[in-house]
Structure 1
């Protein structure tokens, strides 16, 4: 991996190794099917095998890694069923959240959301896909926060790891400007205090994945599993 974690030696290493590896998996730096070696990773970052082993166990429990008997630990392929389930849950939850936000969307919030969209477009212009995906997540978190439902967003984060992996692929493969235009439509619904329009824009936005998924899965079948 190109990036190396800066470990805080005053706290447990295992959670830090886990966070580093999980981030690399979600960003696609560790590709599906890649083999993970406790010894090699431990040597690379200067820790013993034990914290690396603990990180592997957590990744396996999340479905991001898998143990193959007699062969080792490997990065799991992206689960299409997990992606579709997470998308369905997100649509149900975030459609309700946006209606809640519509009742409290003041000028300060609208201005903040407009700035976020400007930053997303700037990231796309720089071809900085990782930054765009980070800003995309922050946009949705800001909406959950505006609804005073940060805890709900935390629950969603725990459900959408496979979806996040796919987002990094589709953001590179397709025109991410469509997504920023959809964000702008959501904000316009809020600006007009039109809860129905804001909800419809959110639903259309979260269904965008359904349009991209078949092409991505057929062009890169080695990355996916049912």
Structure 2
């Protein structure tokens, strides 16, 4: 007699696939860092990039073979990803990439907005010539990538841009808090780049943020980052309409619930 197919946490059939990790993810491997941290970085990148789509199995044995590591660091990495809501670990079945949960997306956005408002404000007050040079280099790279329409590389440059501002204003410790809080949000951000004019809008907003920081205008810098981050609702709506299968069943309810928090400035990345 055929064995019944196992179900996911929401009762739907599991979707299995052969594991494929993008070259960019494998390039993140740094032998000087702990194995679990490396595996986490590779898998997180692959999930954010949608190389491993929602509902797909992450087979531990395949990860072991691809990364040439034992199962211990893989399980540590998967537990960390589970804490961020990026995967479901189902006993006696396996680990599956979760659908995008919009409650987590908006909660992450609230944390990000609160902290980045402060980091960009302080960055403007702490501006130095070295910091200005770093921002100039970042913007030069972003312009080039936008011109080349390299969406994956632009997303990475986008991440580094916000990390740099955080470092100038506060510290890498604060960025780690932001990074952990926005795991679900990052999938939305990455999915948004192919939308019409999205990358160009992001670039223009980055230019405005940098101009305010370099001028030492903390109020304008805070207002610019606020406008930049508060477009998240419109971005989410466009993505849910275009690819509803990637989102949890409560997506529309979550949009309605959180829209009021961003309604005054509907202008994420």
* Pairwise same-fold verdict (TM > 0.5): yes
Where does residue 229 of structure 2 map in the other structure?
206
Count of residues paired in the alignment: 226
**Contact 2:84/2:184 (CA < 8 Å) preserved in 1?**
no
Where does residue 103 of structure 1 map in the other structure?
125
Distance (whole Å) between structure 2 residues aligned to residue 101 and residue 51 of structure 1:
37
Where does residue 60 of structure 1 map in the other structure?
82
**Corresponding residue to 2:212 among 180, 185, 189:** 189
Deviation readout 1:55-90 (Å, 9 max, x if unpaired): 333322321111345643210111111111111121
Deviation readout 1:129-188 (Å, 9 max, x if unpaired): 121111111111221111233221111111111111111110122420101100111122
**Contact 1:66/1:76 (CA < 8 Å) preserved in 2?**
yes
Q: In the TM superposition, what is the alpha-carbon distance from 1:111 to its structure 2 partner?
A: 3.8
State the SS of the aligned residue for 1:36: coil
Provide TM-score, normalisation by structure 2: 0.74
Does 1:19 pair with 2:68? no
- Cα RMSD (Å) of the superposition? 2.5
Distance (whole Å) between structure 2 residues aligned to residue 190 and residue 13 of structure 1:
37
Provide TM-score, normalisation by structure 1: 0.87
Q: In the TM superposition, what is the alpha-carbon distance from 1:30 to its structure 2 partner?
A: 0.9
Where does residue 107 of structure 2 map in the other structure?
85
Q: In the TM superposition, what is the alpha-carbon distance from 1:108 to its structure 2 partner?
A: 3.9
Q: In the TM superposition, what is the alpha-carbon distance from 1:104 to its structure 2 partner?
A: 2.3
Distance (whole Å) between structure 2 residues aligned to residue 159 and residue 99 of structure 1:
20
Distance (whole Å) between structure 1 residues aligned to residue 158 and residue 52 of structure 2:
21
